């Protein structure tokens, strides 16, 4: 047999009182870095371009062709600049299962090697993107009269930020003696 639940009617004053008791949460913008704000700004430009594309295509029945191209290039900027946020916060995909079964010294050496490989990769990517920017020169975008190399400057900025954040992360790992690979609980708050 189930017991019947008895609900008491709440008055408007009681509802209003619950809102008064709610503490206003403190907003801390100090946790955000330069790349967070740049990625947010580029994201909103992309969102506005997509909305304008939708509005002109389905409401006005005459779409602006340039909005699709702008949205595509903004997405490139959001991805590469946003990736530096992930590097800063150690939020990229990683396999940490192996580290549970390795001796601590071997895990530390492997983690250091991964940090160095990551720094070298981003350094090499910076060089490749810079060479590519030089090759495309002042090639114009398809639908608007604007140089395409500005788009690749966002990619370059993303790789430079990833490189710098990788160096910062490696220095932090070396100072504290472990990385997110060795002790993921120290980064997500689950380690006591």
Mean of pLDDT over the chain: 87
Handedness of CA 50, 56, 59, 62 (dihedral sign): negative
Residue 168: domain span: 32-178
The pLDDT of residue 41 is 96
106-128 average pLDDT score: 94
Please indicate, yes or no, if residue 141 is contained in any of the structural domains. Answer: yes
Between residues 191 and 136, the one the model is more confident about: 136
Q: Which residue from 122, 117, 123, 116 is spatially nearest to 174, judged by alpha carbons?
A: 116
Please indicate, yes or no, if residue 104 is contained in any of the structural domains. Answer: yes
Please indicate, yes or no, if residue 2 is contained in any of the structural domains. Answer: no
Please indicate, yes or no, if residue 18 is contained in any of the structural domains. Answer: no
Please indicate, yes or no, if residue 125 is contained in any of the structural domains. Answer: yes
Q: Which residues contact 124 (CB under 8 A, 6 or more apart)?
A: none
CA 130 to the chain's CA centroid? 22
Please indicate, yes or no, if residue 60 is contained in any of the structural domains. Answer: yes
Please indicate, yes or no, if residue 26 is contained in any of the structural domains. Answer: no
Q: Is 25 helix (H, G, I), strand (E, B) or coil?
A: coil
Task: Report how many domains make up the chain.
Answer: 1
Please indicate, yes or no, if residue 6 is contained in any of the structural domains. Answer: no
Confidence of residue 3 (pLDDT cuts 50, 70, 90): low
The pLDDT of residue 13 is 80
The pLDDT of residue 73 is 93
Statement: the pTM of the whole predicted model exceeds 0.75: yes
The pLDDT of residue 63 is 85
Task: Decide if pLDDT at 8 tops 90.
Answer: no
Cα 80 from Cα 152, distance rounded (Å): 10
Q: Which residues pair with 140 in a beta bridge?
A: 147
62-66 average pLDDT score: 87
Q: Are 129 and 152 in contact (CB under 8 A)?
A: yes
Confidence of residue 94 (pLDDT cuts 50, 70, 90): confident
CA 77 to the chain's CA centroid? 11
């Amino acid at each position: 047999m189930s017991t019947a639940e008895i609900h008491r009617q709440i008055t408007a004053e009681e509802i209003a009182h619950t809102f008064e008791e709610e503490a206003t949460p403190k907003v801390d913008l100090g946790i955000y870095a330069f790349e967070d704000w740049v990625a947010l700004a580029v994201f909103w430009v992309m969102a506005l371009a997509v909305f304008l594309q939708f509005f002109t295509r389905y409401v006005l029945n005459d779409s602006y062709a340039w909005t699709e191209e702008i949205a595509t290039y903004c997405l490139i900027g959001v991805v590469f600049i946003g990736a530096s946020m992930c590097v800063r916060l150690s939020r990229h995909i990683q396999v940490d299962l192996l580290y549970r079964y390795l001796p601590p010294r071997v895990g530390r050496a492997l983690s250091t090697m991964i940090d160095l490989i990551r720094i070298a990769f981003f350094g090499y990517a910076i060089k490749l993107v810079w060479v590519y920017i030089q090759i495309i020169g002042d090639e114009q975008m398809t639908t608007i009269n604007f140089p395409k190399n500005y788009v690749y400057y966002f990619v370059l900025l993303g790789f430079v930020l990833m490189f710098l954040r990788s160096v910062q992360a490696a220095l932090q790992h070396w100072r504290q003696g472990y990385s997110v690979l060795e002790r993921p609980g120290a980064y997500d708050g689950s380690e006591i």
